Amino acid sequence: MNKEIKSIRGMYDYFPKDLKIWNYIEIIFKEVLNSYCYLEIRLPILEKTEIFKRAIGNVTDVVEKEMYSFNDRKGNNLTLRPEGTVGCVRAIIQNNLLQKSNKFWYLGPMFRYERPQKGRYRQFYQLGAEVFGLETEDIDLEIIILTNRLWKRIGIDSFITLEVNSIGSKIDRVQYKKELVNFLKKREYLLDEDCKRRLYTNPLRILDSKNQDIQNLLKEAPLLSEYISFSENNHFKNLCNMMNHHGIKYKCNPHLVRGLDYYNSTVFEWKSNKLGAQNTICAGGRYDSLVQEMGGRKTPAIGFAIGIERLVLLVKSLKIFSEVIEESNVYIIFIGDNNKCHAINLSEEIRDLYPKLRIFINFLHQNLTKKIKNAISSLARIIILIGDNEIKKGFFLVKDLKEKKEYHLLKKELILKIQEIFK
């Protein structure tokens, strides 16, 4: 194929079969978010590069290697957003939205220059939610209960598990980082290349390594939880107690850390064992100093993001939805070009009366048998046939493909029949 008309590596087209699942998921998500009074916001896909660098952290994978950044015509350095939280914080500071409402959600594409593989793409969609102004663990719990409800509503709750951890405050982590680096330096020869690099840039990320040898090595390592302040520890304990009380199943994973610098205190991930290496469907946590660091007044915050493609992969692997797409409900076939007008008029009249029906007119130059075959494969419920004879006598020939019955109906009768069938 001509190379120039191929899409960019790691960026995919989405087709109707998959989009049927996407739309179903979206409808459920919107319903659930609405039921918790989270309000939608839509944000630009491009932001100034500087805000990501400052917020996400210069030595994180995202900022170091994964951002799509470029200069615009005036020389401003811009970035295709790699995640949604930073833009959301920028927007609420800029628009003074902190007082008005404190729970938001958004859905849209994100961009990261990563190595494409199953569940990891260069353009992918996230549904995210962010809550501002609440510092107690009640909101951590609400977010976890809310996400749990999403899984239940879609029917994947038994295939996905929750891991939680507390990564304390920045100050707590400074001391811990020193201890961890000390421990790992003594064993540097055992580290893989990635971890060696991280030892000097972002050592906490080593905790989260997928390499089993590294995980074994870490069994002896100092534990972050031992360096966390009393108040942070309390926050986490309270959250765990509340989860127990509300019947939320979870696992404490002391090695769970997040890839972006702005997180603190509670972090969590929902994982599935059905997806292979890219198994995190939803990730989130608190970021209590980000609003202030980005120039707003001190405001605690928490959020999460769901990777929609991974969720769709999971839903597909579980075969929760049938992949059959009904292309039409009513299939109109006209015989002879002079009857095309009647077909169009009739279809418009039906749409006026029944706006939800899907009405398809076959405009192809095919013989009748072929057109009927197409109607059947489009999973239409009824076919309406319009030929000279029908027009002359003022009726329509209607085939009910499900009941396997045929009717000759006046327009009025046809309209009633449609109502009866599709009520």
Binding residues: 83-85, 112, 126, 130, 258, 262-263
266 binds ligand ATP (CB under 6 A): no
- Residue 400: CB minimum distance to ligand ATP, A: 45
Asked if 126 touches ligand ATP (CB under 6 A), the answer is yes
CB 8 within 8 A of CB 122: yes
Residue number of the CB closest to ligand ATP reads 307
* CA 135 to the chain's CA centroid: 26
3-state helix, strand, coil in the chain (%, to 5): 45, 20, 35
Q: Smallest distance, Å, CB 285 to ligand ATP?
A: 9
The phi, psi pair for 237, rounded to 5°, reads -60, -45
Return the SS3 of 133: coil
Tokens coding 304: 């999460």
What are the backbone angles phi and psi of residue 77, rounded to the nearest 5°? Answer: -85, 120
Question: Where does 193-253 have alpha helices with state H?
Answer: 193-201, 212-218, 230-245
- Distance separating alpha carbons of residues 260 and 205, to the nearest angstrom: 10
278 interacts with ligand ATP by CB under 6 A: yes
Where helices occur in 2-136 by DSSP H, the ranges are 16-35, 49-56, 61, 85-94
Binding of residue 207 to ligand ATP (CB under 6 A)? no
Residue 121 as a binder of ligand ATP (CB under 6 A): the answer is: yes
- Determine if 280 is a binding residue for ligand ATP (CB under 6 A): yes
Q: Binding string to ligand ATP for residues 75 to 114, with x set by CB under 6 A, is what?
A: --------x----------------------------x-x
Task: Cite the annotated binding site for L-histidine by residue number.
Answer: 83-85, 112, 126, 130, 258, 262-263
Is 259 one of the binding residues for ligand ATP (CB under 6 A)? yes
Does position 124 interact with ligand ATP (CB under 6 A)? The reply is yes
Comparing CA positions, the residue from 331, 378, 376 lying closest to residue 357 is 331
Interface residue with ligand ATP among 53, 90, 103, 310 (CB under 6 A) is 310
Chain positions contacting ligand ATP, by CB under 6 A: 83, 112, 114, 119-121, 124, 126, 259, 278, 280-283, 305, 307, 309-310
